[in-house]
Amino acid sequence: MIDIGVDPVAFTIGAISIHWYGIFIALAIVWLVAWMAWQSKRGARITYDTVFAAALVGIPSGVIISRLLHVIDLWDHYVQNPGEIIGAGGLTAYGAVLGASLGIWVYCRIARVKIGYFFDLLAPAVIVAQAVIGRIGCTLNGCCFGDSCSLPWAITYTDPNSLGFGVGAVHPTQVYEIIFGLICFVVLVKLKGRFKPAGSLYLIYLGLYSAWRIGIDFLRPGTSFLFGLHQAQVIGIIVLLIVTPILVRRTRWISTEEQLTQEQEELND
């Protein structure tokens, strides 16, 4: 049994409380921007201006959609408390990814940036931001934990301010996702440039994460959204139903020789 006695509030500035969760969300955003800036420095066909412009669009769109899905998921509460709808007190990982993806897609269309190429560069960084950095914040915050558990690695929250205080020993599903995210990061980095057409790697990331969320949510308490499934599971099923046929019909593996030729063409483009 592992006790977590961390106060979710990292520090206060006057009447403002700064939570660990918010700090790690900010770190996840910094990581994404830094990753793309690094890709640009390494010779990727994107500029620093493109990276920061995409961030300026993707961050607010991600927050808005993330908040919207959270409100929909807990509609019974928010319909009784409409004044709480506007705020950042609850966000969803799926909403952040889908919202940011939509915003960046719109930006790429308007700015005439190669959409598939941009998203393939982004894919490995997104899984780290979402499933690793973000879940560290969840672990410290005391949210997104699993069902009751008696395994040796079960966690208990002992700080009275923690969202998980009083729930007893539970599965550390946040930690499970951190491990999953690190494995996915390595896999996506290894697969970079090995598929055609452009955008396939991002679709693979979406498929992997969707399958994961469908499975891991069976170990997590939550609100029934549809057919007894959580909202994240329903979204995961929808995403899989969309990306799987696309991957099967369009995506193909390219050889090492083809990859080298493609990289040379990109450098000469």
Please, what is the average pLDDT of the chain? 88
119: Cβ contacts below 8 Å, ≥ 6 apart: 101, 104, 199, 201, 202
pLDDT at 80 over 90: no
Q: What is the pLDDT of residue 94?
A: 79
**Angstrom distance (rounded) from CA 121 to CA 34:** 12
CA proximity to 67, closest of 37, 90, 51 = 90
Q: Which residues pair with 184 in a beta bridge?
A: none
Torsion of CA 142, 143, 146, 148, to 10 degrees: 50
Q: Domain limits of the chain? A: 2-268
Q: Indicate the pairing of strand 2-4 with strand 155-157.
A: parallel
Q: pLDDT by residue (tens digit) across 28-47? A: 999 999 999 999 888 788 88
pLDDT at 86 over 80: no
pLDDT at 268 over 60: no
pLDDT band at 91 (very low <50, low <70, confident <90, very high): confident
The burial class, CB within 10 Å (0-12 / 13-18 / 19+), for 222 is: middle
